Copies of this chain bind each other. A is one copy, B any other.
Amino acid sequence: MIQTFKLIIEYDGTGFSGWQRQPEKLTIQGELEKVLSRILNQPVTLAGSGRTDAGVHALGQVASFCADTSLAPQALKKGVNRLMKHPIALQRCDRVPHTFHAQYSAISKEYNYYILNRETPCAVGRNYVWHVHRPLDLDVMNQCCALICGSQDFKSFENAGSPRRSTVRTVFLARMDRLDPDRRVFRICASGFLKNMVRNMVGTLVDAGLGKVNPSGFQHILWAKNRSRAGATAPARGLFLKQVNYE
Protein backbone atom coordinates (compact mmCIF):
# COMPACT_ATOMS: atom_id res chain seq x y z
CA MET A 1 0.00 0.00 0.00
CA ILE A 2 1.35 3.41 -0.99
CA GLN A 3 1.60 5.68 2.02
CA THR A 4 2.80 9.28 2.30
CA PHE A 5 4.74 10.06 5.46
CA LYS A 6 5.56 13.37 7.11
CA LEU A 7 8.70 13.38 9.25
CA ILE A 8 9.65 15.98 11.87
CA ILE A 9 13.40 15.83 12.21
CA GLU A 10 15.87 17.15 14.78
CA TYR A 11 19.55 17.30 13.91
CA ASP A 12 22.85 18.70 15.08
CA GLY A 13 24.25 20.10 11.84
CA THR A 14 27.83 20.44 13.13
CA GLY A 15 29.43 17.54 11.28
CA PHE A 16 27.23 17.64 8.17
CA SER A 17 27.63 19.25 4.74
CA GLY A 18 24.07 20.53 5.13
CA TRP A 19 20.65 19.00 4.50
CA GLN A 20 20.85 18.25 0.78
CA ARG A 21 22.16 14.93 -0.50
CA GLN A 22 25.54 15.23 -2.28
CA PRO A 23 27.77 12.43 -3.53
CA GLU A 24 30.63 11.53 -1.15
CA LYS A 25 29.45 13.97 1.51
CA LEU A 26 27.80 13.45 4.87
CA THR A 27 24.37 15.09 4.63
CA ILE A 28 21.21 14.81 6.69
CA GLN A 29 19.04 13.94 3.70
CA GLY A 30 21.57 11.35 2.51
CA GLU A 31 21.84 9.58 5.88
CA LEU A 32 18.08 9.60 6.46
CA GLU A 33 17.39 8.23 2.98
CA LYS A 34 19.92 5.43 3.57
CA VAL A 35 18.29 4.32 6.81
CA LEU A 36 14.73 4.65 5.45
CA SER A 37 15.61 2.71 2.29
CA ARG A 38 17.12 -0.04 4.40
CA ILE A 39 14.09 -0.32 6.69
CA LEU A 40 11.54 -0.12 3.86
CA ASN A 41 13.60 -2.23 1.47
CA GLN A 42 13.02 0.20 -1.41
CA PRO A 43 14.68 3.40 -2.60
CA VAL A 44 13.38 6.40 -0.64
CA THR A 45 13.68 10.00 -1.81
CA LEU A 46 12.87 12.70 0.70
CA ALA A 47 11.32 16.07 -0.13
CA GLY A 48 12.58 18.47 2.55
CA SER A 49 10.81 21.72 3.47
CA GLY A 50 14.00 23.41 2.28
CA ARG A 51 17.75 23.09 2.57
CA THR A 52 19.83 24.00 5.57
CA ASP A 53 23.51 24.89 5.17
CA ALA A 54 26.49 23.05 6.61
CA GLY A 55 26.57 23.54 10.38
CA VAL A 56 22.95 24.73 10.67
CA HIS A 57 20.80 22.78 13.12
CA ALA A 58 17.13 21.85 13.15
CA LEU A 59 14.66 21.11 15.91
CA GLY A 60 11.76 20.72 13.49
CA GLN A 61 12.86 20.21 9.90
CA VAL A 62 10.07 18.56 7.91
CA ALA A 63 10.40 16.05 5.08
CA SER A 64 7.86 13.95 3.22
CA PHE A 65 8.08 10.83 1.07
CA CYS A 66 5.95 8.07 -0.43
CA ALA A 67 6.61 4.37 0.01
CA ASP A 68 4.91 1.09 -0.69
CA THR A 69 4.67 -0.36 2.80
CA SER A 70 2.23 -1.51 5.46
CA LEU A 71 4.58 -0.37 8.24
CA ALA A 72 2.96 1.90 10.84
CA PRO A 73 4.45 5.40 11.22
CA GLN A 74 5.38 4.72 14.86
CA ALA A 75 7.30 1.58 13.93
CA LEU A 76 9.11 3.47 11.18
CA LYS A 77 10.08 6.24 13.61
CA LYS A 78 11.43 3.78 16.17
CA GLY A 79 13.34 1.87 13.51
CA VAL A 80 15.01 5.00 12.14
CA ASN A 81 15.98 6.25 15.61
CA ARG A 82 17.40 2.84 16.52
CA LEU A 83 19.49 2.44 13.34
CA MET A 84 20.64 6.05 12.99
CA LYS A 85 24.21 6.51 14.16
CA HIS A 86 24.48 10.23 13.39
CA PRO A 87 22.95 13.07 15.44
CA ILE A 88 19.65 12.94 13.57
CA ALA A 89 16.48 12.00 15.47
CA LEU A 90 12.93 11.68 14.19
CA GLN A 91 10.65 13.57 16.57
CA ARG A 92 7.46 12.52 14.75
CA CYS A 93 6.40 10.33 11.89
CA ASP A 94 2.83 10.59 10.65
CA ARG A 95 0.78 9.31 7.74
CA VAL A 96 -0.51 12.24 5.69
CA PRO A 97 -2.68 12.67 2.57
CA HIS A 98 -0.88 12.05 -0.73
CA THR A 99 -1.31 15.73 -1.57
CA PHE A 100 1.04 16.70 1.27
CA HIS A 101 4.48 17.95 0.23
CA ALA A 102 6.96 19.20 2.85
CA GLN A 103 8.06 22.13 0.70
CA TYR A 104 5.00 23.12 -1.33
CA SER A 105 2.46 22.67 1.46
CA ALA A 106 4.41 24.84 3.93
CA ILE A 107 2.86 28.21 4.76
CA SER A 108 5.61 29.56 7.02
CA LYS A 109 8.87 28.67 8.72
CA GLU A 110 10.44 29.71 12.00
CA TYR A 111 14.14 30.07 12.71
CA ASN A 112 15.97 30.90 15.93
CA TYR A 113 19.49 32.31 15.99
CA TYR A 114 21.41 32.19 19.30
CA ILE A 115 24.09 34.67 20.34
CA LEU A 116 26.36 34.47 23.38
CA ASN A 117 26.97 38.11 24.23
CA ARG A 118 29.74 38.44 26.79
CA GLU A 119 33.49 38.77 26.80
CA THR A 120 34.29 35.18 27.81
CA PRO A 121 33.65 32.34 25.34
CA CYS A 122 31.81 29.15 26.31
CA ALA A 123 32.90 25.56 25.73
CA VAL A 124 29.75 23.53 26.42
CA GLY A 125 27.34 24.05 23.52
CA ARG A 126 29.79 26.18 21.57
CA ASN A 127 28.50 24.69 18.29
CA TYR A 128 25.08 26.14 19.10
CA VAL A 129 25.85 29.87 19.48
CA TRP A 130 27.68 32.75 17.88
CA HIS A 131 29.99 34.33 20.42
CA VAL A 132 29.89 38.14 20.13
CA HIS A 133 32.39 39.68 22.55
CA ARG A 134 31.20 43.28 22.68
CA PRO A 135 27.86 44.32 24.23
CA LEU A 136 24.90 44.45 21.86
CA ASP A 137 22.24 47.15 22.14
CA LEU A 138 19.07 45.07 22.03
CA ASP A 139 16.78 48.10 21.71
CA VAL A 140 18.49 49.25 18.53
CA MET A 141 18.43 45.69 17.17
CA ASN A 142 14.69 45.48 17.85
CA GLN A 143 14.11 48.80 16.07
CA CYS A 144 15.77 47.19 13.05
CA CYS A 145 13.72 44.01 13.50
CA ALA A 146 10.56 46.10 13.17
CA LEU A 147 11.78 47.24 9.73
CA ILE A 148 12.13 43.63 8.61
CA CYS A 149 8.47 42.79 9.25
CA GLY A 150 5.93 42.73 6.44
CA SER A 151 5.97 41.82 2.74
CA GLN A 152 9.00 43.25 1.02
CA ASP A 153 11.95 42.57 -1.22
CA PHE A 154 14.78 40.97 0.80
CA LYS A 155 17.32 40.93 -2.02
CA SER A 156 19.87 42.73 0.20
CA PHE A 157 19.90 39.69 2.46
CA GLU A 158 20.16 37.03 -0.25
CA ASN A 159 23.43 35.33 -1.10
CA ALA A 160 24.08 34.35 -4.71
CA GLY A 161 23.63 30.73 -5.74
CA SER A 162 19.94 29.90 -5.60
CA PRO A 163 18.09 31.86 -8.27
CA ARG A 164 14.43 32.50 -7.37
CA ARG A 165 11.57 33.94 -9.34
CA SER A 166 11.04 36.62 -6.71
CA THR A 167 13.00 37.93 -3.74
CA VAL A 168 9.85 39.22 -2.02
CA ARG A 169 8.96 37.40 1.19
CA THR A 170 6.58 38.11 4.07
CA VAL A 171 8.06 38.31 7.55
CA PHE A 172 5.34 37.72 10.16
CA LEU A 173 7.55 38.11 13.22
CA ALA A 174 11.15 39.24 13.83
CA ARG A 175 12.54 40.11 17.21
CA MET A 176 15.54 39.83 19.53
CA ASP A 177 14.95 38.39 23.00
CA ARG A 178 17.13 38.31 26.09
CA LEU A 179 17.21 34.67 27.26
CA ASP A 180 19.44 35.29 30.28
CA PRO A 181 22.14 37.83 31.19
CA ASP A 182 24.48 36.39 28.50
CA ARG A 183 22.24 34.89 25.85
CA ARG A 184 20.18 36.52 23.10
CA VAL A 185 17.95 34.91 20.53
CA PHE A 186 16.75 36.29 17.21
CA ARG A 187 13.36 34.81 16.32
CA ILE A 188 11.95 35.07 12.85
CA CYS A 189 8.87 33.63 11.20
CA ALA A 190 8.33 34.20 7.47
CA SER A 191 6.47 32.85 4.45
CA GLY A 192 9.81 31.67 3.09
CA PHE A 193 13.51 32.44 3.18
CA LEU A 194 16.11 33.35 0.58
CA LYS A 195 19.57 31.77 0.59
CA ASN A 196 21.40 32.73 3.83
CA MET A 197 18.64 35.27 4.58
CA VAL A 198 18.55 34.71 8.35
CA ARG A 199 22.33 34.66 8.74
CA ASN A 200 22.69 37.80 6.62
CA MET A 201 20.01 39.55 8.69
CA VAL A 202 21.72 38.50 11.93
CA GLY A 203 25.10 39.73 10.66
CA THR A 204 23.55 43.12 9.87
CA LEU A 205 21.53 43.24 13.11
CA VAL A 206 24.74 42.61 15.07
CA ASP A 207 26.35 45.52 13.20
CA ALA A 208 23.40 47.61 14.41
CA GLY A 209 23.73 46.26 17.97
CA LEU A 210 27.41 47.25 17.97
CA GLY A 211 26.61 50.77 16.74
CA LYS A 212 28.06 50.34 13.26
CA VAL A 213 24.67 50.84 11.59
CA ASN A 214 21.68 52.81 12.91
CA PRO A 215 18.03 51.93 12.19
CA SER A 216 17.88 54.46 9.38
CA GLY A 217 21.01 52.91 7.83
CA PHE A 218 19.41 49.49 8.26
CA GLN A 219 16.32 50.74 6.39
CA HIS A 220 18.50 51.95 3.53
CA ILE A 221 20.26 48.59 3.35
CA LEU A 222 16.85 46.92 2.92
CA TRP A 223 15.77 49.46 0.28
CA ALA A 224 19.06 49.11 -1.65
CA LYS A 225 18.19 45.53 -2.75
CA ASN A 226 21.91 44.96 -2.94
CA ARG A 227 23.67 42.23 -0.95
CA SER A 228 26.92 44.19 -0.78
CA ARG A 229 25.25 46.87 1.37
CA ALA A 230 24.36 44.47 4.21
CA GLY A 231 26.66 43.01 6.90
CA ALA A 232 28.61 39.78 6.87
CA THR A 233 26.89 36.38 6.99
CA ALA A 234 26.64 35.26 10.64
CA PRO A 235 28.16 31.82 11.41
CA ALA A 236 26.00 28.77 10.71
CA ARG A 237 26.34 27.30 14.20
CA GLY A 238 23.92 29.73 15.92
CA LEU A 239 21.06 28.95 13.51
CA PHE A 240 18.20 26.52 14.24
CA LEU A 241 15.30 25.71 11.94
CA LYS A 242 12.72 25.60 14.70
CA GLN A 243 9.45 24.77 12.98
CA VAL A 244 7.70 24.53 9.63
CA ASN A 245 4.01 25.43 9.65
CA TYR A 246 1.28 23.90 7.45
CA GLU A 247 -2.43 24.61 7.05
Does A1 belong to the interface (CB within 8 Å)? no
A→B interface (CB under 8 Å): 10-12, 57, 59, 77, 81, 87-91, 120-126, 128, 240
CA distance A77 to B133 in the complex (A): 14
Residue of B nearest to A125 (CB): B125
With the chains together, A10 CA to B125 CA distance in Å?
Answer: 11
Which of B81, B120, B125 makes the CB contact (< 8 A) with A81? B120
Minimum-distance CB pairs A-B, first 3: A89-B123, A87-B123, A10-B123
- Residue of B with least CB distance to A81: B121
Separation in Å of the A204 CB from the closest CB of chain B? 26
Q: By the criterion CB–CB under 8 Å, are A10 and B124 in contact?
A: yes
Q: B residues within 8 A CB of A12? A: 123-126
Least CB distance, A180 to chain B, in whole angstroms: 14
Shortest beta-carbon distance, A19 to chain B, in Å? 13
Taking CB atoms, residues of chain B closer than 8 Å to A124 are 10-12, 57, 59, 87, 128, 240
**Could you list some 15 contacts between A and B, CB below 8 A?**
A10-B123, A11-B123, A12-B124, A12-B126, A57-B124, A77-B120, A81-B120, A81-B121, A87-B123, A89-B120, A89-B122, A89-B123, A91-B120, A124-B128, A124-B240
From B11, B57, B90, B120, A120 is in contact (CB under 8 Å) with B90
Return the chain B residue nearest A90 by Cβ. Answer: B120
Q: A88-B123, A89-B120 are in contact. List 17 more A-B contacts (CB 8 A).
A: A10-B122, A11-B123, A11-B124, A12-B124, A12-B125, A12-B126, A57-B124, A59-B124, A81-B121, A87-B123, A87-B124, A89-B121, A89-B123, A90-B120, A91-B120, A124-B240, A125-B128
